[in-house]
Amino acid sequence: MRKLIIVMVVLTLSLGTAVAATVGYVTYGGLENPAVNDEDGWVRAMREAGLTVELVKTTDLPDPETLAHCNALYVPGTIAFTEAGFAALQKYVQCGGWLLLQGFYSATSLDKSGKDIFIKDKHAWKIIRLEKGACRTGILPATGAGARASGLTIAKLRLADGFALTEGTETGTVLDMAKRPNAKPYLCAALHYFPVIGARPLISGVPEATEDNQQPETLSLAVYNEYGSGKCLWLTLPLVEMAADGVEFAQTITQNIISAIAANPPPQAEELAGMIPTVEEAMADLKAYDIAFRSGKGYSDSPDSGMLGWAEASRLLMYIECYRVSDDAYWLDKIVDHFDRMIANLSDPDGDGYLGWQTITYSDALGWPKADENNKGEAEIAPELVRVRNNTDVTGHTYTIEFVEADSFNVIDTDAVMLVAREETYKSGAAITAIPGIKVTIAGTPAKGDKFEVRTEAVIPLEWAVHDGTVTYAIALFVEAVEKNAALHENYGEKADEYAKLLTENFLKKWDYVWVEPAEGMGFLKWEPIVANPYLRSIAPQDIPNTIRAIPHNQYLALGRTYLVMADVVDEPLASQWRDKAAKMARYFKSKLRKTGDAYTFAYWDPVEELSEGADDFGHGALSLSFAIEAANRGVVFSEEDMTRFAHTLFDQIWDGSVAEPRFAGRVDGEGEMRDAGMGGHWAGLCRYSDEVWRLFWAILRQKPGANGFLNLWYARPEVAEAPPAARNE
């Protein structure tokens, strides 16, 4: 305690007597009795130095007046921010605030539990990813840091040169790591470090050597970054405790940090309330966000079409939109890097001559039970067909259920010639579970010697048009960008040609065999006639080959966007053929739109000859809408009048009418659970056709400024990148 008092006296003298700074101690608003931890080392150090430490609950972060009261925010340990709080924290640092993070898992996620408190498995990881107990990336995109290993015993330290925070210490040289007064080591955590986004290591450390690792790598233990006009420091070593224990370099750096915080003016409330990123800031954020996730690879190394179609495709689309916003070829390089990695995983397991990615996620493993025709008893096996979704336990072997007595049976794997169940007691109608992944029932009175066969089919990987569509759309936009800009040909011309050939000869031809034209000028893709397709469960297996059932609108329209783009890239006659196919998709979809007042309402799926009474959900509906927007932008079938109706769908039916706290309905007809309004993804594309929708999303962006939202708005209305018209700034 005596050492701590001495250190704090030094700090107080160094800061002078005019300190009037306030530090916000960030904790969960969802706690029953949230409070500042008075025993926290940084809290004590700041108070002893004359700073005021006040509680700032995560629920208070969106209030500009609260943040404008703080020279700095201190985040101790694990925090799970609400989305509004996270956006507010980003604004705070951008506008000049100081952010001090201390601990192995500082600021870990966006809280989707609704309780504003960390609950395991109830979070949507946005910037930080918690994987196997380690925090993968930093709180703000620009920090470029994240804990990757905790509980490290450090042997040597290096303090960075050229930082005001390390002035007065022996920087640039390696120091022996101090021990606690009880001779035990100080434990630290390693931080990820991404220099491309501007974060710099303040303190690095070398762990103690072990038998397995005699030369351990140098690790970052503290990372400093200037973000916007503010500063962010993340420490994963107990610096303030070391200072209290008399460690000289720790005393100096602690003093410098507290002095910098005290001298930092709080951001202005007006600026906090209206902070919109510039193009440069948005691109820096998105680069950092991208690099921080799986080392910048996204999901491009996955062979699974579902992962590529729903996760990686959105990243590819972000890359091409970022290029359009910034003209920065960095994003084109990202597309090439990712798509080349994806191409390496193409294969043709079904032997149709076309390459693709596959997934078992949406496949049924099958079981085909039948009774032996020579059975003597009165028993029947059911069901006629067993379907089990995405079940890898099903072997593909044939099994025999043989009754050794009328009241007991064996189960034999006839392919492996192996007994899998011996003298199981028979009960009429009870489930038989000895066959891996498959359950059947036998009911009635079997006789000794009766046999029942169950032929199984292992789950098979299938290809899906929607996955091909979501991926190839972004690649088609890449090809178009290169094709229409001669300056890009030297660096990207060969790749654009390679990708165009792959799309032309592979992805845009492979689905021709399920193309259907139900009426003149209309077309869609039907489900592949495969029994393992779970979406055909309601159809008898023998009827599947002759069944025409359209796939959901979003699935064929996702691929339709690629036809639209490539039609403007390739030469005739192919260009006309593909534009015609896209137009037929557009007319078919348009025939299923229902006029509801000034809006359109549409279903997830419609029967070929009828209209469904249902309404699509907000997310899948957005994918269908994105095709309509792309078609309208290119003058194919959909008109400005149609886009105005879609805008009314959002404005009149989905949005709840509130500007202060806007919420969106779960379905396009206004039904479904209401949720906090985000930047809307593909729905934001309607801003091009509707000032009202533009103003709605502009209001949302002002409340939750962020790079992704900015990107969506810029793409819809490029003038946002420069300066929004005054009338739209309200």
- The model's confidence at residue 162, banded by pLDDT at 50, 70 and 90, is confident
CATH code, domain with 190: 3.40.50.880
Q: What is the mean pLDDT of residues 46-67?
A: 91
Residues 258 and 400 in one domain: no
133 lies in a domain? yes
Task: Give the contacts of 106 (CB within 8 A, at least 6 positions apart).
Answer: 75, 76, 77, 78, 79, 135, 139, 147, 234
540 lies in a domain? no
* Range from 57-66, 129-138, 549-558, 599-608 carrying the lowest mean pLDDT: 129-138
Residues 148 and 9 in one domain: yes
Report the share of the chain in percent with pLDDT over 70: 86
131 lies in a domain? yes
**pLDDT, position 730:** 33
> Which of 423, 457, 491 is at the close of a domain?
457
566 lies in a domain? no
Task: Look at residue 272 and give its three-state secondary structure.
Answer: helix
Residues 46 and 169 in one domain: yes
**pLDDT, position 653:** 96
Domain total for the chain? 3
**pLDDT, position 689:** 86
Residues 17 and 117 in one domain: yes
Residues 126 and 7 in one domain: yes
> Which of 225, 257, 273 is at the close of a domain?
273
**pLDDT, position 145:** 59
- Residue range(s) defining the domain that contains residue 718: 594-617+624-730
Q: What is the mean pLDDT of residues 8-23?
A: 57
Of 305 and 107, the structure prediction assigns the larger pLDDT to 305
Residues 108 and 246 in one domain: yes
Of 678 and 169, the structure prediction assigns the larger pLDDT to 169
**pLDDT, position 698:** 79
* Range from 64-68, 199-203, 333-337 carrying the lowest mean pLDDT: 199-203
CA distance readout (Å), 360 to 304, 506, 541, 597, 633: 8, 21, 19, 42, 36
- pLDDT of 725 > 80? The answer is no
The half-sphere exposure of 248 on its side-chain side, counting CA atoms within 13 A, is 7
* Range from 110-114, 169-173, 354-358 carrying the lowest mean pLDDT: 110-114
Residues 249 and 374 in one domain: no
Q: What is the mean pLDDT of residues 440-455?
A: 97
- pLDDT of 513 > 80? The answer is yes
Residues 35 and 179 in one domain: yes
**pLDDT, position 715:** 73
633 lies in a domain? yes
31 lies in a domain? yes
115 lies in a domain? yes
> Which of 273, 296, 315 is at the close of a domain?
273
| 104-118, 656-670, 683-697, range with greatest mean pLDDT | 656-670
- pLDDT of 367 > 80? The answer is yes
Residues 62 and 190 in one domain: yes
- The model's confidence at residue 197, banded by pLDDT at 50, 70 and 90, is low
**pLDDT, position 256:** 96
- Please measure the distance between the N-terminal and C-terminal CA atoms of the chain and give it in whole angstroms: 55
Task: Give the contacts of 561 (CB within 8 A, at least 6 positions apart).
Answer: 469, 473, 476, 626, 627, 630
Query: Mean pLDDT, the chain, as a whole number?
Result: 86
351 lies in a domain? no
- pLDDT of 590 > 60? The answer is yes
pLDDT 10s digits, 607-653: 998 999 899 999 999 999 999 999 999 999 999 999 999 999 999 99
What is the C-alpha to C-alpha distance for residues 515 and 71, in angstroms, rounded to an integer? 63
DSSP codes of every residue in 141-166: GGG-EEEEEEEEEEEEEEEPSS-GGG
Model pTM? Answer: 0.76
| 96-110, 117-131, 391-405, 681-695, range with greatest mean pLDDT | 391-405
**pLDDT, position 644:** 94
Residues 59 and 197 in one domain: yes
